[in-house]
Amino acid sequence: MAAGRGVTSARVAAELRSRIERGELLPEDRLPSERELSESLHTTRVTSREALKQLEAEGLIYRSNRRGWFVTSQRINYNPSRAAFFMDYVADQGLVPFSRQLLKKRIVADDRLASMLEVSVKAPLVELQRLRGANGRPAYIETIYLPEGRLPGIYECDLERSVSAVMLGDYDQQYAVVELDITVGALSAGQAALLDAPPGYTCLCVRRVVRNAAGEVVEYDLEHWRHDSLNIQVRLDNS
Amino acid sequence: MAAGRGVTSARVAAELRSRIERGELLPEDRLPSERELSESLHTTRVTSREALKQLEAEGLIYRSNRRGWFVTSQRINYNPSRAAFFMDYVADQGLVPFSRQLLKKRIVADDRLASMLEVSVKAPLVELQRLRGANGRPAYIETIYLPEGRLPGIYECDLERSVSAVMLGDYDQQYAVVELDITVGALSAGQAALLDAPPGYTCLCVRRVVRNAAGEVVEYDLEHWRHDSLNIQVRLDNS
DNA sequence: GAGTGGTCTAGACCACCTA
DNA sequence: AGGTGGTCTAGACCACTCG
């Protein structure tokens, strides 16, 4: 039969779960400290932590660096197929989005990037990195690669707010084909620090390859999302 | 700065990672037992386990019930947008697929199902559940709901192998629109047992709503995938 | 029956955050 | 400075699997 989860940690998890469901703990509320929890439920810290990690995996709670555990709130609904603007669709969901550029530089394609973007090795690229989130909480890190050869002068554009906007406006590039690759992974130490998560935190990796009407790759994105902040929604129309 | 992962467990993780990358440990190979590992690397079981769980989160290794830890092999590439047959696309990837029907029965729609399938409450449905995987390892559990009103006689069809096949053949239903909803979650105890995973194991939840050319919902799927067995690939054509 | 992972106890020290 | 989570030690018992 099922290898039953331990009785004690399950009890702690159930207790907290019910407090959340009953509304005693509201989104963004802070949970009791691990030591308090352990004492009041007659167990040890290791066991309480086991329960907390379980609820974290379920997406019910999250931890902030070394400040404590909190109840999660609404996830961001994300439709990676559309060239929608992050700031817009997050605001439409009643959240307050933010976006911070971490990096913008010119690089040349190495083997891996050359094959992903279908350009020759050493072709000039623009690399862009940004941190985005909602309601003051970081949600994902995005790294974007743009082939300068196909988008002349792209480096001079204001890419801070939205690449999609620049594509549509200045380049008249429709997103003809979008290829998505979605996998569960773990955050590196650097990524985790930026996302206010412990190293190794479970994340959703989304890889996007965007092609224009001519079939050329015009954008390659790598996104690392906190697993508890995201809901991917895709709509496919074959008609 | 980054809340650095502990030195010891990181050392154990790095050691195992390098053994895997160097090819000393091959896919499906068994790792040393937790006790051996702890002793040879001069640490305790709790710490070794921390490292093992980290590698598990990264998708490098997995555990089988109480039998031990193993190196993971190739993931299944899955394109949920197409009405492709599981047995076919897995075989195309050089893997040996299997599919086991767990349940097949007639039910009536409750509130939730009625709203998902856009039928009236108490409308007749067929519920189907199956366990699928590759190379002898379970990968996901799928629960399918079919509205009998729109697919008369569907219960009598042989749905064991492929719902898509029956749709295309007997009902001439093209999959006109597919709506996907993808989230990271945790397995319930029952699901975990079927998937040979510990309870609370991280999973990818995929919800599919399929509509025919008339815009009616003809299929509603709920899939729970082991996070280490899956790679979702979607291709969107806006041209 | 021997060995495995799954869980738990009861401590400890550290790095970091907040006041 | 005091409290928080992050990590670690050194044991223990249990449920299960396998030979």
pLDDT tens per residue, range B211-221: 998 999 999 99
**Pair B195, B226: CB distance under 8 Å:** yes
Please say if the pLDDT value at position B3 is more than 60: no
**Strand runs (DSSP E) across chain B, as ranges?**
61-64, 68-71, 76-78, 97-108, 124-134, 137-147, 177-186, 202-211, 217-226, 230-237
Least confident of A127-131, A207-211, A234-238, B130-134: A234-238
Average pLDDT estimate for B75-100:
91
Closest to B79 measured CA to CA, from B188, B230, B237:
B230
B9 touches strand D (CB under 7 A): yes
Query: pLDDT at residue A2 above 60?
Result: no
pLDDT at A4 over 50: no
Strands B177-186 and A230-237: antiparallel
Confidence check: pLDDT of B183 > 90: yes
Q: In 10 A of CB A156, how many CB atoms? A: 8
Residues in A closer than 8 angstroms to B184, CB to CB, are 59, 184, 202, 204, 227-228, 230
pLDDT in tens, A140-180: 999 999 999 999 989 988 887 788 777 777 776 677 899 99
- On whether the CB atoms of residues B58 and B20 are closer than 8 A, the answer is no
Residue nearest to nucleotide C15 (CA to C1'): B3
Per-residue model confidence (pLDDT) at position A32 = 96
CA of B1 to C1' of D8 (A): 21
pLDDT higher than threshold 60 for residue A57: yes
Structure tokens at B238: 């806006």
Residues 6+ apart with CB under 8 A from B55: B13, B16, B17, B61
- Using one digit for the tens of pLDDT, what is the confidence trace for B56-72? 999 999 999 889 999 99
The ranges of chain A annotated as CATH 1.10.10.10 are: 8-71
- Distant-in-sequence contacts of A87-96, Cβ < 8 A, 24+ apart: A87/A161, A87/A162, A90/A134, A95/A134, A95/A135, A96/A134, A96/A135, A96/A136
- Mean local confidence (pLDDT), B21-39: 94
Spatial contact of A1 and A31, defined as CB atoms under 8 Å apart: no
Q: Which residue of B has its CA nearest to A193?
A: B2
Calpha distance A49→A9 (Å, rounded): 8
Is the Cβ of B204 closer than 8 Å to some Cβ of chain A? yes
* CB contact A14 to B (< 8 Å): no
Architecture of domain A76-232: 3-Layer(aba) Sandwich (3.40)
Block residue for tokens 């697993």: A227
Full-model pTM: 0.92
What was the pLDDT predicted at B157? Answer: 85
Which residues of chain A lie closer than 8 angstroms to B46, CB-CB?
Answer: 46
**CA-CA-CA-CA dihedral for B207, B212, B217, B221, to nearest 10:** -30
At residue B36 the predicted structure's pLDDT band, cuts being 50, 70 and 90, is: very high
Closest CB from A65, A177, A182 relative to B182: A182
pLDDT of residue A80: 84
In whole angstroms, what is the distance from residue B31 CA to residue B47 CA?
16
Residue B174, chain A, CB below 8 Å: the answer is: yes
Predicted local distance difference test score (pLDDT) of residue B187: 93
CA dist A184 and B58 (Å) reads: 8
CATH class of A8-71: mainly alpha
Q: What string of DSSP letters covers chain A?
A: ---PPPHHHHHHHHHHHHHHHTTSS-TTPBPPPHHHHHHHTTS-HHHHHHHHHHHHHHTSEEEETTTEEEE---PEEE-TTS---HHHHHHHTT--EEEEEEEEEEEE--HHHHHHHT--TT-EEEEEEEEEEETTEEEEEEEEEEETTTSTTGGGS--SS-HHHHHHHHS-----EEEEEEEEEE--HHHHHHTT--TT-EEEEEEEEEE-TTS-EEEEEEEEEEGGGEEEEEEEE--
pLDDT at B143 over 70: yes
Q: Which residues pair with B127 in a beta bridge?
A: B105, B145
Confidence of residue B132 (pLDDT cuts 50, 70, 90): very high
- In this structure, the strands spanning A230-237 and A76-78 are parallel
Structure tokens at B218: 């003809």
> Rounded CA gap, A194 and B77, in Å?
30
* Any B CB within 8 A of A236 CB: yes
Order of strands across the sheet that contains A177-186 = A97-108, A124-134, A137-147, A217-226, A202-211, A177-186, B230-237, B76-78
Strand, coil or helix: what is B228? helix
What CA dihedral angle connects B25, B30, B33 and B37, to 10 degrees?
Answer: 10
Nearest C-alpha of chain A: how many angstroms from B140? 14
pLDDT band (50, 70, 90) for residue A117: very high
Query: In strand C, which positions have an atom below 7 A from any protein CB?
Result: 3-12, 15-18
**CB within 8 Å: B184 and A230:** yes
Round to whole Å and give the CA distance between A163 and A220: 11
Percent of chain A at pLDDT exceeding 70? 96
Interface contact flag, A3 B178, Cβ < 8 Å = no
Q: Does A184 touch chain B (CB under 8 A)?
A: yes
